[in-house]
Amino acid sequence: MEEADHRAENPYTEIEGYTVYDGSSEKIGEVDETVYDAPSGVLKYIVVDGHSIPAESVEVIPGEESVYVPYDRETVESAPEMEELSGAFDAAVREHYGNLP
């Protein structure tokens, strides 16, 4: 069963294009996409250069159009590439970033 496209309902698209900085405040890219879980109303992931970063670990600074993540560039670049949401994908991302809560 294909999941409905809830992009129009995604209140987080405004951060797409924001600059992303790693744990040492070095620029690592831009937010390419935001992945929003419409049923729960929660931002699940930001995507940087195709790689998923769990939203609960990001800090968004709207006035600066910046996003800070607590990981280094190598960790982000080696993260699973974004794919259709599934339990297996969520588990792989959480394992990569250290089994977040």
- Residue 101 covered by a domain: no
- Residue 60 covered by a domain: yes
pLDDT grade, residue 72 (50/70/90)?
A: very high
- Residue 1 covered by a domain: no
Q: Which residues contact 74 (CB under 8 A, 6 or more apart)?
A: none
CA-to-CA distance for 42 and 91, rounded, in angstroms? 17
The total domain count for the chain is 1
- Residue 3 covered by a domain: no
CA-to-CA distance for 21 and 84, rounded, in angstroms? 25
Question: 40 is in which domain, residue-wise?
Answer: 10-96
Of all helices (H) and strands (E), which one includes residue 74? helix 73-77
Residue of 68 and 84 predicted with greater confidence:
68
- Residue 5 covered by a domain: no
pLDDT grade, residue 100 (50/70/90)?
A: low
- Residue 42 covered by a domain: yes
Tokens of 86: 């599934």
Contact yes or no for 51/81 (Cβ under 8 A)? yes
- Residue 82 covered by a domain: yes
User: pTM value?
Assistant: 0.85
Residue of 77 and 99 predicted with greater confidence:
77
- Residue 2 covered by a domain: no
For the beta sheet containing 66-68, the strands, ordered from the edge strand earlier in sequence to the opposite edge, are: 51-54, 42-48, 27-37, 19-21, 66-68, 59-61
Q: What is the pLDDT of residues 9-67, one digit of tens each?
A: 788 999 999 999 999 999 999 999 999 888 888 899 999 999 999 999 999 999 999 99
CA-to-CA distance for 100 and 8, rounded, in angstroms? 28
**What's the CATH number where 49 sits?**
2.30.30.240
Residue 40: the pLDDT is 86
